[in-house]
Amino acid sequence: MASRAVIKTSMTDRDRMEKIVSLAKRRGFIFPGSELYGGLAGTWDYGPLGTELKTIVRNEWRRRFVLGRTDMVQIESAILMNARVWKASGHLESFTDPMVDCRQCKARFRADKIDLAAACPQCGARDFTGARPFNMMFKTFIGPVEDSAAQIYLRPETAQGMFTNFKAVLDTMRPKLPFGIAQIGKAFRNEITPGNFIFRSREFEQMEIEYFIRPADWEAQFEAWLKEMRGWIASLGLDAARVHEREVAAEDLAHYSKRTVDIDYDFPFGREELYGIAYRTDFDLGQHAQESGADLGYFDEAAKERFVPHVIEPTFGLDRTVLALLLEHYQEEGAKDGTRVVLKFPPRIAPVKVAVFPLLANKPQLVERARGIFERLQGWRRAMGEGLVAWDDRGNIGKRYFSQDEIGTPWCVTVDFQTLEDGTVTVRDRDSAEQERVAEPDLVALFEERLKA
Ligand code: ATP
């Protein structure tokens, strides 16, 4: 088949966002949280394809930053932590956003995210209260007594788990500086105004690294990690023209940071933070040493000196990564046979790696042969630990291709009558829409080769 004439259709930013939200729901990537009961603001459930996409992103991140290095260990700390952790880290005191209320309609807003001189976006009144700090940590109680002594918090970041386990990691694994502790896990923030789909939710996932260094090395390490982050972003296929590094001004730095660079992405709703990197000095280890009374120092054998390491923290939001991937790779192409929607994920990232079709569903020989190929390919993905194989025998082949394009499946394998004669199948490529004939035993090697590209 000749490759199709491709005309990219134009889309407004708003359209793009709406289309992504609708596609995500329709095709099983992301559903509104608790929808059966009318929803729960700021929460989202990942469906089968979204879960696979997240799994692949987590694995890629782990392969790159943990398995691919000799200076990194990974942990999983508890979401519930002793409340003193948050006293020491400064979150109890200052993990706040400024909040204003509209006196007329009672709607609440983040004071730094709306124009207070303008009308209320909800009711049009011009009657805001003054801004006051609102602590974003979710409170809960541990044990059966609901009094202030039992009050704890859901962690608002994974980072503190690395600091509170620093000594345990040091004592058990004996790493030498510089080294990092990585963690992937859920974080919770009672955002005043969640929104923009999964960009700002109340429950989300972070992939964070606390990289412990000698204080004198901080500038070089900061640059090295910024470079690592750029490499990661490029590996996701995000267009560098849409990614912007923003030096956070001294007066806007978080209480623990001496330097922060936010890595922003041009989302349809504006240029907003995707990731961040901060030089946290020895603030956290110092605070925990003081609050707990433990010695959180490191003994440098070579220099025969003991000191509290400093920290560079690259932080990556998993949900914002998923959103950027969906937005970046969503394309509509006008074709003679209708608009084709394609998620042009890099094949490594695609949740479904390959789809298998029998040309005709009512020919048992074709179905049986295709089923065998489907199962063998599934065995291949099972061994890899990620990436789905789809089966489709509905409608005509054209419709099946369109359906796979929409979820970003890089290759479709069709078993036809020629397969029964010579053992070859057609492999159709998502991006070029070209088909080639491949001998069935060569399929896995072909896909592995292309996944490396
Ligand atoms: P923002 O300024 O957008 O509120 P932040 O500066 O508070 O973000 P950090 O505290 O640096 O964010 O959190 C680290 C990462 O966690 C962010 O770069 C982002 O990817 C992710 N993240 C933070 N808050 C949310 C949220 N409410 N929903 C989804 N991801 C989030």
The model's pLDDT over 129-162, given as tens digits with 9 standing for 90+, comes to 999 999 999 999 999 989 888 999 999 999 999 9
Residue nearest to atom 28 of ligand 1 (CA): 200
8 Å CB contact between 276 and 263: yes
pLDDT given for residue 409 in this prediction: 98
**Do residue 181 and residue 283 come from a single domain?**
yes
Quick check: CB of 204 below 6 Å from ligand 1?
yes
Residues 365 and 261 in one domain: no
- pLDDT tier at 10, thresholds 50, 70, 90: low
Whether residue 299 sits in one domain with residue 375: no
pLDDT (tens digit per residue) in 13-49: 888 999 999 999 999 999 999 999 999 999 999 999 9
Give the integer Cα–Cα distance in Å for 137 and 191: 9
Q: State the distance from the centre of ligand 1 to the C-alpha of 83, rounded, in angstroms.
A: 21
Q: Calculate the CA 322 to chain-centre distance.
A: 5
Percentage with pLDDT > 70 across the chain: 97
Residue 306 within a domain:
yes
pLDDT at position 243 is 98
Cα 438 from Cα 257, distance rounded (Å): 56
**pLDDT confidence band for 4 (50 / 70 / 90):** very low
User: How far apart are the CA of 205 and the centre of ligand 1, in A?
Assistant: 10
Does 218 map to a domain?
yes
Are 288 and 360 in a shared domain?
A: no
Q: What band does 7 get if pLDDT is binned at 50, 70 and 90? A: low
Strands 411-415 and 30-32 turn out to be unpaired
Query: For residue 156, how far is its CA from the centre of ligand 1 (angstroms)?
Result: 10
C-alpha 207 – ligand 1 centre gap (Å): 11
Query: For a pLDDT cut of 90, what percent of the chain falls above it?
Result: 90
Same domain, 307 and 359: no
State pLDDT tens for residues 42-88: 999 999 999 999 999 999 999 999 999 999 999 999 999 999 999 99
Same domain, 269 and 236: yes
User: Does 357 have pLDDT greater than 60?
Assistant: yes
Taking the whole predicted model, whether its pTM rises above 0.75 is answered as yes
Is 164 part of any domain?
Answer: yes
334 confidence band (pLDDT: 50, 70, 90): confident
More confident residue, 395 or 2: 395
- Chain-wide mean pLDDT for the chain? 95
pLDDT of the residue at 339? 87
257 lines ligand 1 (CB under 6 A): no
**Mutational pocket test of ligand 1: of 91, 110, 320, the residue with most ligand atoms within 8 Å of the beta carbon:** 320
Q: How far apart are CA 24 and CA 49, in angstroms?
A: 9
Judge if the beta carbon of residue 191 lies within 6 A of ligand 1: yes
**Mean pLDDT within 288-314:** 96
Decide: 276 in ligand 1 pocket, CB within 6 A.
yes
Spacing, Cα 23 to ligand 1 middle (Å): 24
Residues 357 and 301 in one domain: no
- Evaluate whether residue 112 is within a structural domain: no
- Cβ(282) – ligand 1 distance below 6 Å: no
Within a domain: 412: yes
- 357 in the same domain as 253: no
CATH code of 250's domain: 3.30.930.10
Which pLDDT belongs to residue 148?
A: 86
Give the per-residue pLDDT at 1: 33
Residue 114 falls inside a structural domain: no
Residues 257 and 366 in one domain: no
What's the number of domains the chain is made of? 2
pLDDT digits (tens, 9 = 90+) for 224-251: 999 999 999 999 999 999 999 999 999 9
* 19: in domain: yes
For residue 264, what are the domain limits? 13-80+157-326
Say if residue 5's pLDDT is above 90: no
Atom of ligand 1 nearest to the CA of 263: 18
Q: Compute the Cα dihedral for 313, 52, 78, 97 and give only its sign.
A: positive
Distance CA 451, CA 453 (A): 5
Q: Are residues 283 and 423 in the same domain?
A: no
Let me know whether 315 and 370 are in one domain.
Answer: no
CA distance linking residue 275 with residue 19, whole number of Å: 24
Q: Given this model, what pLDDT does residue 451 score?
A: 96
- Distance, in Å, from the CA atom of 17 to the CA atom of 326, rounded to the nearest integer, reads 10
Taking a C-beta distance cutoff of 8 angstroms, is the pair 260, 254 a contact? yes
Judge whether 6 lies within some domain: no
Q: Given ligand 1 and candidates 136, 200, 233, which is best to mutate, with the most ligand atoms within 8 Å of its CB?
A: 200
Same domain, 183 and 305: yes
Q: What is the CATH number of the domain that holds 398?
A: 3.40.50.800
The whole-number pLDDT of residue 453 equals 79
